[in-house]
Amino acid sequence: MKTQIVLATLLSLSTSAFAAETVSVQKALPEVGSNLSGITYNYDSDSYFLIQNNSGNIFEYKADFTKPVRTIRMTNLTDADTEDIVYLGNNQYAISTESNQVLILKIDEVQTTVDVRDSRDDVQMMQLPAPAKHNKGLEGVCFSKKHNTFYAVQEKKPKRIFEWTRPSHGNDIADAAALGVKEPFDTEKILKHVMSDLSACIYDDKNDQLLLLSHESSRVMRLNRQGQVVSTTDLPLLPDQYEGMTFSKDGKLIVVSEPNIVVILK
């Protein structure tokens, strides 16, 4: 499918009081098929890693998003509903699953298959508080290199933001209390009437801000470390199921939507 260059600013609902983003590129990725759920930028390889849910597949693309450099298959997943991915450096990635687990694993430059069974020494499992509702668990995970801190977002019922320090060891941590997970903000209060769900997060180390994405509301919100809202921005109404986001090398916001759409914003 050809890249669509959108010249005009696409506004959301006319009743919205929020700023609207401008699209520079919107593109379908036929090789992904469906269930595109997350994206992260690998600053060491200058490429993007995109993850599917319900499949265990990761796709690596260069910045033009023409064809995947490779497809990486994760095997022996306890929960194949993988929702998001974030690059940590040194070929390490964190993967979030719907069962509120975050896995740290290594993918080298040539691998096309990764065994992620919990018993492996090179895979670390971190268990967050269990979701109250089935299929309403973790949707996004992000990492602040500056603060050595993870954030993760739970979709809804209730919407939650989790925060914890990255462990100094690589052992599995099956207890959220032992992991030191906390909820730094009253998430439901902050998002009331603004975001009806949470689908992803990224941490902006440069500005010390946490960005939240809602697919139901098609919005991005920026919070400072005190939980105060810095800005709220509407995304284009189409595509309509934004599931993941990352920053490009030059600081542009890139969002992905089901089934297989990547959108680069100006």
CA 127, distance to chain mean position in Å, is 17
Q: Cα–Cα distance between 94 and 74 in angstroms, integer? A: 13
How many C-beta atoms surround the C-beta of residue 6 within 10 A? 14
Q: Cα–Cα distance between 209 and 202 in angstroms, integer? A: 9
CA distances from 144 to 76, 82, 126, 127, 209 (A): 28, 21, 17, 19, 10
CA 197, distance to chain mean position in Å, is 14
pLDDT, averaged across the chain: 91
- Is the pLDDT at 15 greater than 50? The verdict is no
The pTM of the full predicted model, rounded to 2 decimals, is 0.91
Q: Cα–Cα distance between 186 and 54 in angstroms, integer? A: 30
Tokens of 220: 């991005």
Decide the pairing of beta strands 253-257 and 200-204.
unpaired
Mean pLDDT across 36-61: 97
Beta-bridged to residue 238, according to DSSP, are: none
Note the pLDDT of residue 8. 28
Note the pLDDT of residue 264. 95
Question: pLDDT of 108-140, one tens digit each?
Answer: 999 999 999 877 889 999 999 988 877 778 999
Q: Exposed (0-12), middle (13-18) or buried (19+): which is 31, by Cβ within 10 Å?
A: middle
- Is the pLDDT at 20 greater than 70? The verdict is yes
Q: Cα–Cα distance between 174 and 19 in angstroms, integer? A: 41
CA 107, distance to chain mean position in Å, is 18
Note the pLDDT of residue 149. 99
Tokens of 197: 């769900």
Question: pLDDT of 148-203, one tens digit each?
Answer: 999 999 999 999 999 999 999 999 999 999 999 999 999 999 999 999 999 999 99
Chain position carrying tokens 């992000």: 142
Beta-bridged to residue 264, according to DSSP, are: 25, 254
Helices (H), ranges, 65-186: 176-179
- Is the pLDDT at 11 greater than 80? The verdict is no
pLDDT confidence band for 85 (50 / 70 / 90): very high
Mean pLDDT across 229-255: 95
Half-sphere exposure of 64 (CA within 13 A, CB side): 4
Note the pLDDT of residue 129. 95
Pick from 239, 158, 225: nearest CA to 197 = 158
Pick from 124, 161, 157, 122: nearest CA to 140 = 161
Q: Cα–Cα distance between 83 and 244 in angstroms, integer? A: 9
Mean pLDDT across 59-78: 96
Which domains, ranges and CATH numbers included, belong to the chain?
19-265 (2.120.10.30)
Three-state SS at 140 = strand
* Cis peptide bond prior to 68, omega within 30° of 0: no
